[in-house]
């Protein structure tokens, strides 16, 4: 496995691989790799001649009061996980390589970026879209692998790829959960014992919603109210949002119909966690 730190070197190598007719799978990450990331890497390994994992804690997608500086960076452990998963290249650039002096170009996905997580994290998805666009140009992937855990992010990346004619397929892979249901996240390591228990409230509120829908409830206001009430029982939990939206446009639903994305963000102590499920309800004939 090769670790490459300069984008010019990474691009030169990617171009060489493309010229030799090799297919490239890219897994863009911020490191602190967990089983969620590994599932993307394994899928990339199955479908491509060459697998590139980018590890870059992207300053552009962190807001002023957010956890950029304390975000976990266990790069050595990450490299070894990648190596064991038969990754070919880890691309691990410095911020000054991706954002040199005078940097001033941003990719913005309007509308989709200002709802849900975008409301409380202004500029976040601009940072995501910009870095993903750059990573595509640097690593020339045929397929890019992202996780459904970041549902809004994956919608935005898919929209950007279509809108800007990026020649890449975006493969969205299912959420990987701990045995008790907590969605895997690099931020889970911020949680202390009590918070780790309380964090289950995200998944359990989604299960509550799922069961309500199964039992016939279609009114979104009722579902969201029930979820919020359920979450508020935990004193450590502060709701950012609970939303039921159309999975591609993120437009809120009033009544559950067809496919819908139920997504939420909840602060457990100081740690902001997100989770979601997609439900499919058959329209009545």
Instruction: State in angstroms the smallest separation of the CB of 166 from its own copies.
Output: 6
* CB closer to its own copies out of 134 and 234: 134
CB atoms under 10 Å from CB of 280, counted, come to 11
Q: How far is the CB of 178 from its own copies (least distance, A)?
A: 35
Helix (H, G, I), strand (E, B) or coil at 90: strand
Q: How far, CA to CA in Å, does 86 sit from each of 31, 42, 89, 265?
A: 16, 9, 9, 34
> Are the C-beta atoms of residues 263 and 151 closer than 8 Å to each other?
yes
Distance of CA 154 to the CA centre of its chain: 6
User: 284 in helix, strand or coil?
Assistant: coil
Least Cβ distance, residue 123 to its own copies (angstroms): 12
For residues 101 and 179, which CB has a smaller minimum distance to its own copies in the complex?
101
- Give the bridge partners for 273, in sequence order: 266
Is 34 considered catalytic here?
A: no
| Residues 22/141, Cβ–Cβ less than 8 Å | no
Report residue 49 as tokens.
Answer: 């001649």
Q: What is the phi/psi pair of residue 118, to 5°?
A: -65, -25
Minimum gap (Å) between residue 94 Cβ and its own copies: 15
Nearer Cβ to its own copies (98/201): 98
Q: C-alpha angle 108/65/135, rounded to 5°?
A: 35
* Pick 39 or 92: Cβ nearer its own copies: 92
> Considering beta carbons, is residue 49 or 163 the nearer one to its own copies?
163
Shortest separation between residue 136's beta carbon and its own copies, angstroms: 9
Active-site pick, 9, 34, 37, 124: 37
- Residue nearer to its own copies on the CB measure, 32 or 161: 161
How far CA 227 is from CA of 168, 202, 211, in Å, comes to 37, 9, 11
Q: Is the Cβ–Cβ distance between 263 and 152 less than 8 Å?
A: yes
What is the rounded CA–CA span in Å between residue 81 and residue 91? 14
d(CA 127, CA 159): 15
Given the rule CB under 8 A, which residues bind its own copies?
7, 11, 15, 100, 102-112, 129-130, 133-134, 137-138, 159-160, 162-167, 249
The whole-angstrom separation of Cα 32 and Cα 4 is: 18
CB 17, min distance to its own copies, A: 13
Q: Which residues are catalytic?
A: 37
């Amino acid at each position: 496995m090769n670790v490459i730190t300069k984008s010019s070197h990474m691009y030169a190598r990617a171009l060489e691989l493309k010229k030799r007719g090799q297919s490239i799978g890219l897994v863009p990450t911020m490191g602190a790799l967990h089983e969620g990331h590994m599932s993307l890497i394994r899928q990339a390994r199955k479908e491509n001649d060459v697998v590139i994992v980018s590890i870059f804690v992207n300053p552009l997608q962190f807001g002023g009061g957010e956890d950029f500086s304390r975000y976990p960076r266990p790069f050595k452990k990450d490299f070894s996980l990648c190596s064991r998963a038969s990754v070919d290249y880890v691309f691990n650039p410095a911020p000054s390589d991706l954002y040199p002096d005078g940097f001033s170009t941003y990719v913005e996905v309007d509308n989709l970026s200002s709802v849900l997580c975008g409301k409380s994290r202004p500029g976040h998805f601009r940072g995501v879209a910009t870095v993903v666009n750059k990573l595509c140009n640097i690593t020339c992937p045929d397929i890019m692998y992202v996780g459904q855990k970041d549902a809004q992010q994956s919608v935005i990346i898919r929209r950007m790829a279509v809108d800007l004619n990026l020649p890449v397929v975006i493969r969205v892979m299912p959420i990987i959960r701990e045995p008790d249901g907590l969605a895997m996240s690099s931020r889970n390591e911020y949680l202390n014992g009590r918070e780790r228990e309380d964090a289950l409230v995200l998944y359990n509120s989604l299960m509550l919603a799922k069961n309500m829908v199964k039992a016939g409830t279609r009114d979104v206001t009722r579902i969201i109210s029930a979820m919020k009430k359920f979450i508020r029982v935990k004193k450590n939990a502060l709701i950012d949002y609970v939303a039921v939206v159309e999975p591609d446009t993120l437009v809120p639903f009033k009544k559950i119909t067809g496919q819908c994305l139920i997504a939420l963000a909840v602060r457990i102590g100081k740690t902001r966690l997100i989770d979601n499920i997609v439900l499919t309800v058959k329209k009545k004939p």
